């Protein structure tokens, strides 16, 4: 087992969960932006995906060229079982650590955490 997943890596892996077979750079960026309102650069997504691929957490395959992209191909990514396991482990870590502490945190920040 490698080091723990970073926050951005978690976002990407969740995007892969959501997009299933349709996960490629622009779609991943869109998914993250839609859910978090955060705009992320293509370069950052690919860098993170490369890193995840080298750890065996994701896999990739190349699609057909499309006119919409000026004849360029898409590179799709998919979640490996190891990736899914790693993601659920890191979510579980957060969940078990935050168990019962949310009301207290909300009291400190003074606002509701959704």
Partner 1 sequence: MKSPSWLAALLLRLLIRGEGSEFVAGDLIERYQRERREGRPEARARFWSALLASGWSWWRPGAVMRRMRQRTRRGEGMGMWVQDVRAAGRSLRRRPGFAFGVALTLGLGIGATTTVFTVVDGVMLRPLPYDDPGRLVALGTTFPTREWADEEAGLQHLAGMSLLNFRDLSERARSFDGLAGVELTNVLLPDQGSGPEFAGAARVSPDLFHVLGATPAIGRSFLPDEHSVDADAVVMLSYGAWERRFGGDPNIVGVSVEPVGQPFTVVGVLPADFEPPETFFRAMPDFWLPLQPDHPRYANRGGRSLALIGRLGAGTTVERARDEAREIGLALAQDFPEGNVYPDGSHFGIGVNGLHQQTVGTTGRTLGIFLGAASLVLLLAAMNSATLLLARSLDRTRELEVRAAMGAGRARLVRLLVAEAAMISAVGGVVGVLVAYGGVEAFLRMAPSSLPRLDAVAVDARVLLVAAIVSVGAGVLAGLLPALLSTRNGLSVGPSRTSTAPRSRLRTLLVGGQISVAVVLLSGAGLLFSSFVHILTVDPGFEPEGLVSMRVALKRPGAADEAGWVGWDRVIEEVSTVRGVRAVGGVSNPPFQSPSWAPRLLLPGDPPDLWREGVAGFAITPNYLETIGSSIVAGRPFDRGDGPDAEPVVLVNSAFVQAHLEGEEPLDLVLRHVEGGEESSMRVVGVVENVVQTSADEGPRPAMYVPHTQVEWPFVNVVVRSSDDPTVLVRELRNAVARFSPVIPPQDLRTMSDRMASTRTNPRFQAFLIGAFASIALLLAAAGLYGTLAHNVRRREREIGVRLALGSARRGVIEMVLRDGLGIVVVGLAIGIVGALGATRVLTDALFAVEPNDPLTLAGVALVLLAVAVIACLLPARRASSVDPVEVLRSE
Cβ proximity to partner 1, 39 vs 111, nearer residue: 39
Nearest distance from C-beta of residue 63 to partner 1, angstroms: 10
For residues 86 and 5, the answer to whether their CB atoms sit within 8 Å is yes
Nearest distance from C-beta of residue 69 to partner 1, angstroms: 4
Cβ proximity to partner 1, 25 vs 78, nearer residue: 25
* CA separation for the pair 14, 20 (Å, rounded): 10
Interface residues with partner 1 (CB under 8 A) are: 24-26, 29-30, 39, 41-43, 46-47, 50, 68-75
* CA separation for the pair 49, 43 (Å, rounded): 10
Nearest distance from C-beta of residue 51 to partner 1, angstroms: 13
Task: Outline where 1-114 has alpha helix (H).
Answer: 7-19, 25-36, 42-54, 81-98, 102-109
């Amino acid at each position: 087992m490698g080091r723990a997943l970073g926050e951005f890596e978690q976002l990407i892996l969740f995007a892969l969960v959501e997009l299933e077979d349709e996960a490629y750079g622009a779609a991943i960026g869109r998914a993250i932006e839609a859910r978090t309102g955060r705009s992320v650069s293509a370069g950052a997504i690919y860098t993170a995906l490369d890193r995840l691929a080298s750890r065996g957490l994701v896999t990739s395959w190349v699609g057909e060229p499309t006119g919409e992209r000026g004849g360029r191909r898409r590179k799709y990514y998919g979640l490996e079982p190891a990736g899914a396991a790693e993601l659920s482990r890191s979510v579980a870590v957060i969940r078990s650590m935050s168990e019962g502490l949310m009301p207290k945190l909300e009291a400190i920040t003074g606002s509701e955490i959704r």
